Amino acid sequence: MIGAIEAGGTKIVCAVADRKELPRVAERISIPTRTPEETLPKIVSFFKQYPVEAIGIGSFGPIDVNQDSSTYGFITNTPKLAWRNFDFLGAIRAAFDLPYFWTTDVNAAAFGEQQYGAARFAKNSIYITVGTGIGGGVILNGKVMEGRGHPEIGHIYINQLASDPFEGNCPYHSNCLEGLAAGPAIEVRAGQKAEQLNATDALWQIEAHYLAQACVNYTLSFAPEVIVFGGGVMKQTHLFPLIQEQFQMLLGGYMETTAVESFIVPCKLRDNAGIVGSLALAEQLI
Amino acid sequence: MIGAIEAGGTKIVCAVADRKELPRVAERISIPTRTPEETLPKIVSFFKQYPVEAIGIGSFGPIDVNQDSSTYGFITNTPKLAWRNFDFLGAIRAAFDLPYFWTTDVNAAAFGEQQYGAARFAKNSIYITVGTGIGGGVILNGKVMEGRGHPEIGHIYINQLASDPFEGNCPYHSNCLEGLAAGPAIEVRAGQKAEQLNATDALWQIEAHYLAQACVNYTLSFAPEVIVFGGGVMKQTHLFPLIQEQFQMLLGGYMETTAVESFIVPCKLRDNAGIVGSLALAEQLI
């Protein structure tokens, strides 16, 4: 069997699977993300029940993924103070001496979609989640892409529309992509929850324009075969044709892509992308 | 010996080197880029003189670098009509049955700087050239990064300053990075050649701001250890402190980098980066 941990800011999902039955999850639990002292023993108890041979971990970040670093495996500069500079991988490894794949939650989700979801045909793909924040993972030649660290492509700068007076609400960058286009930015402009906005509201045009710009930048940077969107905001499926249309206009034919309807697509695994991706990463270790 | 071809829009440089003496170039010629019919025989004649075991090619683009593609090795949608859809790699391979490394001129330069220049200490690095256009190459874990195609990171969108009324002059995207910050954009704003502008001219602040935004986006996308700048515009060395200062402000401490003075740096190989990089890519094939 293989194991997986998807560590989010509010809950931590642990799962095990028979590696021959992926993407089927055999057993899972969901644990509220409290302090490491309170949470870790529950994770360990779960995995003690199963003959697990490898574990994939997709964690909220930022995390240290640099194997040359003395803090490899740590959650680093997170606003969740109890987890800041916590050696998450080390704590799990202390309980189970196994091979581990350690990466971000969004990289794990990107790998899940690439192995079993909307990017299954692709060697190179991007996964973007648009919710209370914007995060993304990159698969390059079938592998999770990491440099000295992991990508943070939800925070790139894009060109703000002159018609959009909102100053942006990213605490680090004000009007980066997350500051202009995550759920909270839509809600500030609308004065109400994004999901209550009418599908024809002009604010969706602004949202689609920003996400399309991001897709152009990702396309020019990574040359993927497909860009997969997940996250709460993207449940507004009327956004997809708007993004696709804006993307084509903004790319200006500069780079060849497949037909835009199959290039910018919704995720398929939905809330399972992260845990299935973490399982798939564990499977590759064996 | 190993060989290299750096194919540019105005000239094609061919070189050979003893692989044990890199980065020293043993012999080289420079051929004007005319039609393939006129130019190819000169390239072939040059290499016929030497016992070359592998050739690295860094070509102007766009080019097809996807080994699964039927047009792998072609120059594709270039404005230079005589070279459009020309099987450059195939033409060279027909003359010499050798191992080849086929990539863009900027990827080759990025590799040259990473092997022998300003990024020598790095496993992950970016090379950006700012001249009549803006182009960039990416080295990831010591290797040239390519997805389904090669990066085109000179054309990403960035946030145009409200104080900058210039509409941008990229023929594809108007106000992408190249349209706002390549040499011709500076010259349109200034009404004179960029190199004639005083180093204290306020236009350099705009230029530095845009290049700093690009550096933020590259940092968030690729997590490099260093970003190396080349190209004619970057001979204005007073730009570096301005870019470094703006970069720190714009990144907002979001991602850890080395001290900014050693993170955003000028190239060391200068005009040799592309040919030395192409030689180094050939060397890796043996």
**Distance (Å) from the C-alpha of residue B286 to the closest C-alpha of chain A?**
23
Chain A residue numbers with beta carbons less than 8 Å from the beta carbon of B224 are 147-148
Mutate to test the interface with B, among A67, A104, A128, A148 (most CBs of B within 10 A): A148
Residue matched to tokens 């080994």: B67
Asked if residues B148 and B136 have their Cβ atoms less than 8 Å apart, the reply is no
At B254 the pLDDT is 86
A189 part of contact set with chain B, CB < 8 Å:
no
CA-based nearest residue to A225, from A262, A199, A194, A190: A262
Chain A residue numbers with beta carbons less than 8 Å from the beta carbon of B225 are 147-148
List CB contacts of B190: < 8 A, sequence separation 6 or more: B196, B197, B201, B203
At A255 the pLDDT is 83
Collect contacts of B258-266 with beta carbons under 8 A, ≥24 apart.
Answer: B258/B225, B258/B226, B262/B226, B263/B225, B263/B226, B263/B227, B264/B215, B264/B226, B264/B227, B264/B229, B264/B240, B265/B118, B265/B226, B265/B227, B265/B228, B265/B229, B265/B240, B266/B118, B266/B228, B266/B229, B266/B230, B266/B234, B266/B237, B266/B240
A76 part of contact set with chain B, CB < 8 Å:
yes
List CB contacts of B140: < 8 A, sequence separation 6 or more: A140, A145, A147, B124, B222
At A253 the pLDDT is 87
Q: Reply yes or no on whether the pLDDT at B283 is more than 90.
A: yes
Mutate to test the interface with B, among A76, A156, A174 (most CBs of B within 10 A): A156
Q: Mean pLDDT for each consecutive 10-residue tract of chain A (286 residues)?
A: 96 97 97 97 98 98 93 93 96 98 98 98 97 97 94 97 96 96 97 93 97 98 97 97 98 88 97 97 96
Asked if residues B220 and A153 have their Cβ atoms less than 8 Å apart, the reply is yes
Chain B residue numbers with beta carbons less than 8 Å from the beta carbon of A253 are 172
- ipTM, two decimals: 0.96
Cβ-count burial of A147 within 10 angstroms (0-12 exposed, 13-18 middle, 19+ buried)? buried
Answer with the residue of higher pLDDT: B96 or A78. Answer: B96
CATH 1.10.150.130 for the A118-267 domain, yes or no: no
Are β-strands B27-32 and B55-59 bridged in parallel, bridged antiparallel, or unpaired? unpaired
A146 part of contact set with chain B, CB < 8 Å:
yes
- Residues linked to residue B47 through DSSP beta bridges, in sequence order: none
Residues B112, B155, A168, A195, Cα dihedral to 10°: -120
At A254 the pLDDT is 87
Q: What pLDDT, in 10s, does the model give residues B234-272?
A: 999 999 999 999 999 999 988 888 899 999 999 999 999
B217 part of contact set with chain A, CB < 8 Å:
yes
Q: Do B222 and A254 touch (CB under 8 A)?
A: no
At B250 the pLDDT is 97
At A20 the pLDDT is 95
At B218 the pLDDT is 98
**Distance (Å) from the C-alpha of residue A74 to the closest C-alpha of chain B?**
14
Mutate to test the interface with A, among B124, B177, B222, B257 (most CBs of A within 10 A): B222
Q: How confident is the model at residue B181 (pLDDT cuts 50, 70, 90)?
A: very high
**Chain length of chain B:** 286
Q: What pLDDT, in 10s, does the model give residues B112-153?
A: 999 999 999 999 999 999 999 999 999 999 999 998 999 999
Range(s) within chain B of domains with CATH label 3.30.420.40 = 2-104+274-284, 118-267
Which superfamily does B2-104+274-284 belong to? ATPase, nucleotide binding domain (3.30.420.40)
- Residues linked to residue B168 through DSSP beta bridges, in sequence order: none
Chain B residue numbers with beta carbons less than 8 Å from the beta carbon of A140 are 140, 145, 147
Of B62, B156, B223, the CB nearest to A151: B223
Q: What is the arithmetic mean of pLDDT over B2-26? A: 96
List CB contacts of A43: < 8 A, sequence separation 6 or more: A5, A12, A14, A31, A92
A206 part of contact set with chain B, CB < 8 Å:
no
At residue B20's C-alpha, the angle toward residues B19 and B25, to 5°, is: 60
User: What is the rounded CA–CA span in Å between residue B259 and residue B144?
Assistant: 25
